[in-house]
Copies of this chain bind each other. A is one copy, B any other.
């Protein structure tokens, strides 16, 4: 039997806790997207959130809930991406010491950003085993508290606050969509949406090349991804125990999309909507476009998860075009 481990009250409390430190991100619409899908689509733009992703909500909520002893000792997290930066900034704001275990092949930009917020970064081999072993050694040696990127209920509650803001601004929708990687955003969003709008359906988008949630959801049995190979780097992780349970109970469907479909959705968001969205954030839009015949005429909310992409190549090309000259230091 399923026992609800997290309720909408927890998410309301999380929102109260973190509200003054987060960005109340804007909700954007597009006539072009509406015509294309023949739906009324509202995008909750968490790419504008602090650190560039919804992850900041969960990290800040989890860290705020630590005991004063835990805060004294410090926290550890392992992540190659947005969770690293989220924990680093949240820890800095709460004056907690944070250590982040990052795979040695993480993008230098993300390592730099994580350090920039003040966390200590420890590099490990680029395997899940090495990440976990390194993290466990640190916990063993220093007594740090682990902040899991998606399976932690406090992190899930924080992630759910984006949907809370969405519904309080837009009202109830027919369908709420998110991407699914580890399932934290999808879990928090589902709990809020099903509680506030019981008739709404919850649909997630997932890369075909990292389709553990799709398979697990259909088989009703946890089937982790093996060698996920998607450029939607935030979605390579597999579900956790808690997120799997919540998803099984609250989610209505999971739609998988190809790499090319993700890229085309991402390009649409940049080119037509002028939003810098990372590949993972474009996944639910790809799913929406793919399913547009089934969704015709619906009112749809989409949580756009983040906007962290490495733009070095693009701007270096630009720089070559304009030649040298003196610059400013931004």
Chain A interfacial positions (CB closer than 8 Å to B) = 26, 28, 31, 36, 45, 47-48, 50, 52, 231, 258-261, 263-268, 270-271, 273-277, 286, 289-290, 307, 311, 313-315, 317-319, 321-330
| A315 and B263 contact, CB distance less than 8 A | yes
Q: Closest CB of chain B to A7's CB: distance in Å?
A: 32
A47 to B275, CA, bound (A): 10
Among all A-B residue pairs, the 4 with the closest Cβ atoms: A260-B327, A274-B307, A274-B276, A259-B322
A274's partner among B47, B267, B314 (CB-CB below 8 A) is: B47
Chain B residues with CB under 8 Å of A36's CB are 330
| B231 and A318 contact, CB distance less than 8 A | yes
Chain B residues with CB under 8 Å of A315's CB are 263, 266-267
| B52 and A274 contact, CB distance less than 8 A | yes
Which interface residue of A28, A45, A267, A311 has the most chain B CB atoms within 10 A?
A267
| B321 and A231 contact, CB distance less than 8 A | yes
A276 to B290, CA, bound (A): 25
Chain B residues with CB under 8 Å of A258's CB are 325-327
CB closest chain-B residue, reference A290: B328
14 other A-B residue contacts (CB within 8 Å) besides A258-B326, A274-B277, A276-B276: A26-B26, A231-B321, A259-B322, A263-B322, A264-B327, A264-B328, A264-B329, A264-B330, A266-B315, A266-B318, A267-B315, A267-B330, A286-B328, A290-B328
CB closest chain-B residue, reference A31: B50
Chain B residues with CB under 8 Å of A265's CB are 328, 330
Q: Closest CB of chain B to A263's CB: distance in Å?
A: 6
Chain B residues with CB under 8 Å of A319's CB are 260, 263
Q: Closest CB of chain B to A218's CB: distance in Å?
A: 21
Chain B residues with CB under 8 Å of A263's CB are 315, 318-319, 322, 327
CB closest chain-B residue, reference A314: B314
Q: Closest CB of chain B to A329's CB: distance in Å?
A: 8
Given contacts A28-B48, A231-B318, A330-B289, contact A325 B259 (CB under 8 A): yes
A266 to B52, CA, bound (A): 17
Q: Closest CB of chain B to A76's CB: distance in Å?
A: 26
Chain B residues with CB under 8 Å of A313's CB are 314, 317
A311's partner among B259, B270, B289, B324 (CB-CB below 8 A) is: B270
Chain B residues with CB under 8 Å of A270's CB are 276, 311
